[in-house]
């Protein structure tokens, strides 16, 4: 365990102490918006910047700052840090923090609190427990939310918060620090064991893995469901699938960790998924289903569909809380999936050597589709359609070909989720495509892409948003311009809240509230110093060179006008919503 000394830095205030902890955790950027009460922390960040320590990135809105901190974590694996002033600074933050909570993103949220002597006196922006109580508000979307009411609490509460944030499943934590405490003079801090905060404890339950091996041995056919929390262990899972002839399907985030052109791949299960993925569990008889890397959310499981969640299921996950969604399973393995599949692979190899064989429960001769996978597509012909207006399916097919495989992609809530999930084919298997499927807040991708690009400006970052989602965070592209970040903001412009429009049509409800006015987002971007281009045809789209964008010093915005009449693959989601309402 590395022991890091913090004694080299000169500490003057408790705000410097907080920044020193961030430095020891390797955090380079803190996202936030200034304000009177948070000034002592900004002073410390200014001193830190001069000493090559953590620095401030100013967002245009506090929710944007939290989305940036979220993107920073996704890019670096290090906790996101966001700081705001008291009152409206803290309330503006809430959606971004809630989003981090729902998506298991570790984040340290520091809000300034009214100075202690002013509590209860109706100070400007007062946020104490007798006013607009920001500690209470943030309690409901963080794992730990606490007021520091004395300087001597600060260090221990900071340590408690950081450790709570890293505990599985990771989560945001909040400290509300009165401005007078931040500015108070502070003695030098102790040495800290920085690794302790973020140590990833890996556990393997030998007994449960042994039971799993015996179950695998007993059956003739297997199928595997892989979701987004699997990470790089997906490779071992696919190796297992190859050995036992098991088809695998994925959740809408799991797909970014596997090779979708693999012969055993049968598509996405759940939201915007492929019928071929459902067929694995319906048309054929599978003896045993393994679900791995999944908290079995509503979207991943198509509304907790019994096709997947039944007595043939074995749920493998490092986090026992996730088993609350799989009580019907015949077995649970609470262990790190990488360790489980290492052992399964070794076990299966030994059994193969002894003559055991498993049968494949899908047709191995299934032909590949137009995108090169064995997933069944809705409206495959649209992927080739060059007729105007531009079809979203055609846009996805073009992105499949045109994007450098190592593009880091952030996708906003709306039909962008559906188009990407159904038609985009991942080429890198490194989880470089991010969606906030836990909370689904429109506008998240814009901020997250900026935070990610700030963390890693060496790569090309692509943000895909519908026009409605983009309008919720459009101001944040000026941060990308200010910091010269290579981000392509691709706005899928259908002059509509398209998911709402199609959802209402598919559900046969009243058509209401979906129409947006036609906005020229390219011009809007230009007004913020960002080059903007309107794309209306396939020719204009295919003339783009994303490699060029990779080398530019700053963002660009593509205002892509699409055919809003194209029906996104969301029919099952609409059915789920309708069923839930009927109860």
Ligand X SMILES: Cc1ncc(C[n+]2csc(CCOP(=O)(O)OP(=O)(O)O)c2C)c(N)n1
Under the rule (CB under 6 A), what is the footprint of ligand X? 413-416, 440-442, 466-469, 492, 494, 496-500
Q: Closer to ligand X at the Cβ: 414 or 486?
A: 414
**Distances 391 to 7, 284, 385, 396, 482 between C-alpha atoms, Å:** 59, 34, 7, 9, 33
User: How far apart are the C-alpha atoms of 177 and 159, rounded to whole Å?
Assistant: 14
Per-residue 3-state assignment (H helix, E strand, C coil) for 435-487: ECCCCCCCCHHHHHHHHHHHHCCCCCEEEEEEHHHHHHHHHHHHHHHHCCCCE
Per DSSP, the residues of 307-324 read: TTSSTTEEEEES-GGGGG
Q: Closer to ligand X at the Cβ: 264 or 390?
A: 390
Q: How far is the CB of 379 from ligand X (least distance, A)?
A: 16
Q: Closer to ligand X at the Cβ: 106 or 414?
A: 414
User: How far apart are the C-alpha atoms of 504 and 564, rounded to whole Å?
Assistant: 14
Q: Closer to ligand X at the Cβ: 15 or 490?
A: 490
Side-chain half-sphere exposure of 80, counting CA atoms within 13 A: 38
Q: Closer to ligand X at the Cβ: 54 or 392?
A: 392
Instruction: Give Cβ neighbours of residue 393 (< 8 Å, ≥ 6 apart).
Output: 379, 382, 383, 385, 419, 423, 566
Q: Closer to ligand X at the Cβ: 95 or 301?
A: 95
Helix (H, G, I), strand (E, B) or coil at 306: coil
By beta carbon distance, the residue nearest ligand X is 466
Q: Closer to ligand X at the Cβ: 157 or 573?
A: 573
Are the C-beta atoms of 127 and 86 separated by less than 8 Å? yes
Which tokens go with 553? 């010093």
Q: What are phi and psi of 119, to 5 degrees?
A: -55, 135
């Amino acid at each position: 365990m590395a022991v890091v000394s913090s004694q080299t830095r000169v500490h003057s205030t408790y705000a410097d102490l907080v920044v020193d902890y961030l430095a020891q955790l390797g955090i380079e950027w803190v996202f936030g918006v200034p304000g009177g009460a948070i000034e002592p922390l900004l002073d410390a960040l200014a001193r830190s910047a001069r000493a090559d320590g953590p620095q401030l990135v100013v967002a245009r809105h506090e929710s944007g700052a939290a989305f940036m901190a979220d993107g920073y974590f996704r890019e670096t694996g290090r906790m996101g840090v966001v700081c705001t002033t008291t009152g409206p600074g803290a309330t503006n933050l809430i959606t971004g923090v809630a989003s981090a909570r729902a998506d298991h993103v570790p984040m340290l949220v520091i809000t300034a609190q009214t100075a202690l002597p002013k509590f209860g006196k109706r100070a400007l922006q007062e946020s104490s427990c007798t006013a607009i109580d920001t500690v209470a508000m943030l309690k409901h979307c963080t794992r730990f939310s606490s007021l520091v009411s004395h300087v001597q609490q600060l260090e221990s509460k900071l340590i408690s918060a950081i450790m709570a944030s890293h505990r599985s499943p990771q989560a945001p934590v909040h400290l509300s620090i009165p401005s007078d405490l931040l500015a108070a003079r502070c003695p030098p801090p102790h040495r800290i064991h920085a690794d302790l905060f973020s140590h990833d404890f890996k556990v393997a339950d030998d007994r449960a893995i042994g039971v799993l091996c015996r179950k695998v041995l007993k059956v003739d056919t297997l199928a595997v469901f892989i979701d987004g929390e699997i990470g790089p262990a997906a490779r071992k899972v696919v190796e297992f699938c190859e050995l036992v002839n098991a088809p695998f399907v994925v959740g809408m985030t799991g797909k970014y960790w596997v090779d979708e052109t693999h012969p055993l791949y049968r598509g996405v299960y759940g939201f915007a998924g492929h019928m071929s993925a459902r067929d694995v569990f319906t048309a054929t008889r599978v003896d045993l289903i393994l679900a791995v890397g999944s908290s079995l959310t509503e979207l991943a499981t198509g509304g907790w569909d019994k096709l997947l969640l039944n007595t043939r299921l074995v749920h493998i996950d490092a986090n026992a809380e996730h088993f609350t969604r799989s009580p019907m399973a015949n077995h649970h393995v609470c262990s790190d999936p990488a360790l489980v599949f290492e052992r399964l692979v070794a076990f299966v190899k030994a059994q193969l050597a002894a003559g055991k064989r498993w049968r494949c429960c899908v047709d191995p001769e299934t032909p590949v589709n137009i995108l090169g996978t064995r997933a069944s597509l809705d409206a495959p012909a649209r992927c080739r359609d060059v007729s105007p207006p531009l079809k979203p399916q055609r846009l996805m097919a073009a992105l499949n070909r045109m994007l450098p495989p190592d593009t880091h992609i952030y996708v906003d809530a709306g039909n962008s989720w559906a188009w990407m999930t159904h038609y985009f084919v991942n080429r890198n298997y490194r989880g470089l495509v991010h969606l906030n499927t836990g909370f689904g807040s429109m506008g998240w991708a814009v901020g997250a892409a900026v935070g990610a690009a700030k963390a890693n400006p060496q790569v090309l970052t692509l943000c895909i948003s519908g026009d409605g989602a983009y309008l919720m965070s459009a101001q944040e592209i000026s941060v990308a311009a200010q910091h010269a970040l290579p981000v392509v903001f691709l706005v899928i412009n259908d002059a509509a809240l398209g998911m709402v429009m199609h959802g209402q049509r598919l559900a046969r409800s009243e058509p209401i509230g979906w129409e947006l006015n036609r906005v020229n987002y390219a011009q809007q971007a230009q007004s913020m110093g960002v080059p903007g281009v309107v794309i209306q045809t396939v020719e204009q789209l295919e003339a783009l060179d994303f490699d060029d964008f990779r080398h530019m010093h700053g963002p660009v915005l593509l205002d892509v006008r699409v055919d809003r009449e194209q029906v996104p693959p969301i029919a099952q989601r609409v059915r789920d919503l309708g069923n839930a309402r009927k109860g």
